[in-house]
Structure 1
Amino acid sequence: MPEIERLSNAITWIDLSFVERERTPEWAIQAGIRCHLAGISLRDASQYLDELGVQRSHVAIHEWVHKADLQPISTVTADQLAVDEKMIRLHGQEFWLYGAVDPQTNEILHVSLFPTTTKQTTQWFLAELHRRYQLDDVIFLVDDADYLAPVLAEDGYRFRILAHGNRNAIERVFWEVERRTSSFANSFSHVELKTAQNWFEAFAVYHNSRQS
C-alpha cells in the first residue's frame, strides 16, 4: 500500500504525553494515528499494525487520534487569507465547517465546526481566528456566502469577494475534507460535535505537515 510505505518518516508533530498508561508502544500509536490521518481507514490501520505485531482494534486507533488533541499551529506568511464555510455530512447529520487557509503556504490556520451557520457562528469563528493570529493587516478572500462578507464588513475587516485565484486554496482543502468524511463514516458513528472538531483539527495538523 503506497500510502503506508511513506509513513516511515519521523512524526515530530504528534505529542504522545497522553500515553503514560498505554500498553501500546509509542511507535505503534504514532503509526496508527499517522495512517488514519493520511487517508487509511481505521480498520486498515488496525490491520497494518497487526502485520507489525501489534494487535489493537480500530476503536483504539480512533481514541488515539482524539486523545492526542492535535491543534494546527502556524503563522500567516501572506497579506491575504482564504476563508470559507461549507456544509458537510457526518454520519447523516449536517454540520457547518469554517476554515481559514494561507494561500501562500496552503496551510490550514484554523477550523471550527458548528451545527448551523448564522451571523453569530461566523462572528465566533472570525473572533477565534483573530485572537490566534492578530489579523489587522490581512485581506480576507471570500466568496458570496450568506454571512462571511456581511460580518467582515460589519466588524471592520478588510475583504475581497473572489471566485477563483488565491481563494482556491480553501476550496482545495474543503474538497479533501469532503472526500475524507464521506469515505470514513466509521470515524463519526453517533457523532458528537467535540469528537468531529477534534478530528478536523488533527487533520489540519497532518495537512500542514505535508506542506513543508
Structure 2
Amino acid sequence: MPEITRLSDCSDWIELDFVERQRTPEFAMRLGIQMHVAGLSLSNTISILERLGVERSRTAVHNWVQKADLQPEGGASPNQVALDETVIRINDQQYWLYAAIDPETNTFLHIRLFSTYTTGLTEIFLSELREKHDVETAVFLVDDAQWLQTALDRHGLDCRYERHGNRNAVERLFREIKRRTSSFSNTFSHVEPTTAESWLQALAVWWNRCQS
C-alpha cells in the first residue's frame, strides 16, 4: 500500500538495532514509535496499527519506545544556548526537566530529568552537554535561577540573563512538552522516572526531526 510506504519513509530515522525477533514489520514499529512520541496515547497508537493490519499490545509499543533509546544528536556548534528547567509530574511527585535549546534552529541540544534542582545537578547536565556539543564559545541565556548561573560560572561558560528574546525558545518548547503530556495524562503514572525520561528524550528527537 502506498500509504504505508509513505508513513514508513517518514520514520526511517528510527534505528531498530534492538530488535531480536522479527515478529513485527519494521515499518509498523517505526510508525508506532513515531506516533507515540508525537503525542498519541498508547491506545490510539495501537488502534491505528490495527487499521494497517498489525495487532500489538500497549506494552509492546511502550517497549519499542524504551528500547529504541532515542537521544538528540550531538555535534552542534550553537552561538547561543537557551538553558532552563521545568517541573514534570510523575506519580504525583515533582521532577525537574532540564533542557538546552539552540534558539536559532529551535531544536533540543540536550534534555535530562532529575529528582530535584541543584547547582551540582546543573553541573552534571552541563558536563554532558559539553561532551555532545561544542558550546565553549556559546552564550548561555538563562533566567534569574541562581543555580543555573552558578553552574555556568564554575564551567567557565558565558552566561547572560535574559527574560525574553531568544530565551523564549526554551519556554515555547516546554509549553509544547506539557501540551503533549497533558493530552494523555496517564503517560507518567505508574512508571519509573527513567521511563519518563526516555520518552521525553524520544520526543526531543522527534521534535528536532520536524524542524529539519
Query: How far apart are 1:183 and its partner, in Å?
Result: 2.5
On the 8 A contact 2:81/2:103 being kept in 1, the answer is yes
Rounded to whole Å, the distance in 2 between the matches of 1:184 and 1:118 is 30
1:126 and 2:126 are equivalent in the alignment? yes
Q: Which amino acid aligns with 1:190?
A: H
- Aligned residue for 1:39, secondary structure, equals coil
**Partner residue in 2 for 1:173:** 173
Which residue in 1 is equivalent to 2:3?
none
Equivalent residue for 1:20?
A: 20
Structure 1 gap ranges (5+):
1-5
- Say if 1:74 and 1:132 are closer, same or farther in 2 by CA, change over 3 A: closer
Are positions 1:206 and 2:206 aligned together?
yes
Question: Which residue does the alignment assign to 2:34?
Answer: 34
Give the drift of 1:112. 0.7
SS at match of 1:108: strand
Report SS of the residue matched to 1:36.
helix
Which residue identity is paired with 1:53? Answer: G
Distance 1:138 1:189 in 2: 37
Deviation at 1:107, TM superposition (A): 1.0
Amino acid at match of 2:198: N
CA displacement, residues 48-81 of structure 1 (integer Å, 9 cap, x when unaligned): 0111111111221111111111111044353111
Contact 1:7 1:34 in 2 (8 A): no
Distance in 2 (CA, whole Å) between partners of 1:155 and 1:81 is 14
* Whole-angstrom distance in 2 between the partners of 1:207 and 1:123: 25
Q: Gaps spanning 5+ residues in structure 2: where?
A: 1-5
Alpha-carbon RMSD across the aligned residues, in angstroms, is 1.8
Against the structure 1 CA distance between its residues 182 and 10, is the aligned structure 2 distance closer, same or farther, given a 3 Å change threshold?
A: closer
- Return closer, same or farther for 1:91/1:180 CA change in 2, 3 Å cut-off: farther
Name the CA distance, whole Å, in 1 between partners of 2:66 and 2:78. 31
Q: 1:210 aligns to what SS in structure 2?
A: helix
Rounded Cα–Cα distance in structure 1 between residues aligned with 2:76 and 2:142: 17
* 1:77/1:104 contact within 8 Å kept: no
Number of equivalenced pairs: 208
User: Any idea what SS the aligned residue of 2:10 has?
Assistant: coil
Q: How does 1:97-108 map to 2 (within 5 A)?
A: 97-108=97-108
Partners of 1:164 and 1:16 in 2: CA distance: 40
Cα distance between partner residues in 2 of 1:193 and 1:90: 7
Task: Give the distance between the partners of 2:97 and 2:152, measured in 1 at CA.
Answer: 17
Q: Residue 72 of structure 2 aligns to which amino acid in structure 1?
A: P
Q: Residue deviations 1:14-62, cap 9 Å, x none?
A: 0011123141111111111111112111100110011111111122111
Separation in structure 2 between the aligned mates of residue 107 and residue 202 of structure 1, nearest angstrom: 13
Moved more, 183-192 or 33-42: 183-192
Counterpart amino acid of residue 96 in structure 1: W
SS in 2 for 1:18: coil
Partner residue of 2:140? 140
TM-score by length of 2: 0.91
> Is residue 143–residue 163 contact of structure 1 (8 Å, CA) maintained in 2?
yes
TM-score by length of 1: 0.91
